[in-house]
Amino acid sequence: MALARAFADPVHGAQQTFRAVMNALARPGTLQPVDGLIEAPAPLSPVAAAIAVALADYETPLWLDDPLAAAPDVAAWLAFHTGSRIIAAPSQAAFALVADPAALPDLAGFALGSDIYPDRSTTLILQVADFAANTATSRLRLEGPGIKGHATLAVAGLPADIVERLAANHALFPRGVDLLLAGPSSVAALPRTTRVTLVET
């Protein structure tokens, strides 16, 4: 089996992907384009794969959800391109890759950090179907740092009770996980600081 390539240009590909993630976290709800990649093995999406390669390495244990863990090509590809250990315990993960966010496990099962070191928490990378308004299953209203007034985000593929889960996560502040939503060609973020409610329709 030949391994699929990662960034065509490892230095600038990683930098551009990181800047997209940084801008997404700094401005929750905005869509930041990610390109420059990547032949990732299914069911790992190219954008989620780009984020993983840009940020993960031997210092960051990775956790994979069931569809990703069931694909041996994914673990081999991530091991080669990041050097990360794939671990079974989500509470030890620096990054969690989730191909099926509708089956997202309890957020409290991931590393939440401590009151003294709240940064020692999992960053979840969720592969979502898209951010189009007409196909969205969740229409979210966002408030918090990084947002002037409020923002809205339409997402397809999140669990039906995502707002309650994010509220419980936000209530842990400064502890808590941070979510990166990897769409088909862009990334959005929901850091622990963001207050999320459903848009009234």
Partner 1 sequence: MSALATSGTVAAGGYNFAYLDEQTKRMIRRAILKAIAIPGYQVPFASREMPMPYGWGTGGVQVTAAILGASDRLKVIDQGADDTTNAVSIRKFFEKTSGVETTTRTANATIIQTRHRIPEAALTGDQVLVYQVPIPEPLRFLEPRETETRVMHALEDYGLMHVKLYEDIATHGHIATTYAYPVKVEDRYVMDPSPTPKFDNPKMNDCAALQLFGAGREKRIYALPPHTKVVSLDFDDHPFEPTKFDHACALCAATHTYLDEVITDDAGGRMFVCSDTDHCEERRAEGHRGALLGEAPAAIAGAAE
Q: Which is nearer to partner 1, 133 or 173 (CB)?
A: 173
Q: Which stretch binds partner 1 (CB under 8 A): 23-31, 33-41, 73-81, 124-132?
A: 23-31
150 is an interface residue for partner 1 by CB under 8 A: no
At 95, which amino acid appears?
Answer: F
Interface residue with partner 1, options 10, 72, 89, 103 (CB under 8 A):
10
Interface residue with partner 1, options 40, 49, 55, 68 (CB under 8 A):
55
Q: Which helix (H) or strand (E) holds 49?
A: helix 46-55
- Given a contact cutoff of 8 angstroms between Cβ atoms, the answer to whether 109 and 165 are in contact is no
DSSP assigned state of 175: S
Cα-based distances in Å from 77 to 50, 51, 53, 89, 176: 12, 14, 10, 20, 29
**CA–CA gap between residue 182 and residue 135 (Å, rounded):** 16
Q: Which is nearer to partner 1, 114 or 135 (CB)?
A: 114
Q: Interface residues with partner 1 (CB under 8 A)?
A: 8-12, 14-16, 18-19, 21-23, 25-27, 54-57, 59-60, 94, 114-119, 121, 123, 145-148, 173-174, 178, 191-193
